[in-house]
Amino acid sequence: MSEMNDIIKNGQLMPADLTAQIRDKYYHVDVDPFTKSKRLFFDNSGGSFRLKDASEAFRNVDDLPNCGGHGGAASDYLDSLRVQACKDTATSACWRSAARWQPRPSCCCSTSPPPV
């Protein structure tokens, strides 16, 4: 708590090592990508606070010249990513019950029951 009190007293937003980690892991924290002017950006509502690893994962999948549902190795891989994403994000909002599986209409997970 003493470290946090010192940080607050000195007018810092957070410890310097945490700030360095954020700058390392996220895009556009210190510089506006359009105007190239300096800024300190910690507002995620506009979408600019983008995790570098998430952008890389999206780019790797988006660069594939296939889409799911068409058969073949690449298509099957993309289908498996969708199924895994549904499992990873499944909530009670998606499933009426695990015992009697039935997807809600607004849920993307329409082909397999929720993970147990």
Q: What residue type is assigned to position 68 of the chain?
A: G
Q: How many independent structural domains does the chain possess?
A: 2
- Alpha-carbon span 77 to 74, nearest angstrom: 5
Three-state DSSP class for 2?
A: helix
Residue 78 sits in the same domain as residue 107: yes
With respect to residue 87, please indicate whether it lies within any of the assigned structural domains: yes
Domain check: are 72 and 115 in the same one?
yes
For the chain, 116 residues long, the average pLDDT of each consecutive 10-residue run is 70 81 87 86 65 90 85 88 78 53 52 49
DSSP 114: P
Same domain, 35 and 70: no
Q: What gap in Å lies between CA 84 and CA 80, rounded to an integer?
A: 6
Cα first-last separation, the chain: 40
pLDDT in the model for residue 1: 58
Domain of residue 32 covers: 1-46
17 near 3, Cβ under 8 Å?
no
- Clarify whether residues 40 and 5 are in a common domain: yes
